[in-house]
Amino acid sequence: MVTGAGSGVGREIALQLASQKWSLALADNNYDALLDTQSRCAAMTTVARATQVDVANRTEINSWAESSRRALGGLDAIFNVAGVLYRGDVIDTPTADFDLVMATNFESVVNSSRAFLPDILNSRRGRIVNVSSAFGVMSAPGYSAYNSSKFAVRGFTEALNQELRLASRTARATCVIPGGLKTPIARTARAAPGVDRARTANFFDTRVARTAPKVAAQKIIAGAWKGKSQVTIGNDARLIDVTTRLLGSHYQHLLPALQALRRR
């Protein structure tokens, strides 16, 4: 099962699993993009189901889990990739926007993990793979909603993985920490009123996005089957991880200082 399968890393994960002949249940809110992924997967594997799902809606996730269970029988792995980027200071971010980011990025991961958890525990190779972010390791000014959601994904997945280790000899949860990925996430991002979305997207695409989705998908799948607790993708993500470990809370002086210099 793969959420966010209509584009980016979710699509690449679906395609690579299809090339390995896995039966797939694919979900995305963009149905046209999802059908394109399904068509590509169907050329490589026997079963590739496409279901339009708003991952922020628990009822839709539960319905997708049940229909996937009926169609595929045993379910072995769920890759929770769907998410939304959001730019905006705390004071400018409407409550509804903050809630939507948390529902899309975090609550969807919780709801999906819970919906498929019985199947994962029953599988001899059960895997739950949740995508956090380098912004789930280091916070940044202007990204409070996104930071909150991705820190929450990391904490939830780490706790879940420990519970799985207590309950099963084989089931595992993997937290993915990607840096900047060359995906449409910045161009489909949401933002608080007054934020220049085009400028933010251009900065992300030209200065932040570094790793190709295909490379990221390969590392995610390999790490998941190895039962890794964490898969860190990109030198930028590794640098952020090292920086926060070395500086601790003092890193919070670093980014505001850099932004202040940039504005001069």
Active-site residue set: 146
Q: How far apart are CA 157 and CA 172, in angstroms?
A: 10
Beta carbons of 209 and 183 less than 8 angstroms apart: yes
Beta carbons of 187 and 201 less than 8 angstroms apart: yes
Q: How far apart are CA 103 and CA 87, in angstroms?
A: 16
In three-state secondary structure terms, 79 is strand
Beta carbons of 150 and 132 less than 8 angstroms apart: yes
Beta carbons of 178 and 133 less than 8 angstroms apart: yes
- Long-range contacts from 191-196, C-beta under 8 angstroms, 24+ separation: 191/86, 191/87, 191/88, 192/86, 192/87, 192/88, 192/89, 192/92, 192/93, 192/94, 192/97, 193/92, 193/94, 194/92, 195/87, 195/88, 195/92
Q: How far apart are CA 215 and CA 41, in angstroms?
A: 18
The pair phi, psi for residue 245, each rounded to 5°, is -70, -40
Q: How far apart are CA 77 and CA 156, in angstroms?
A: 17
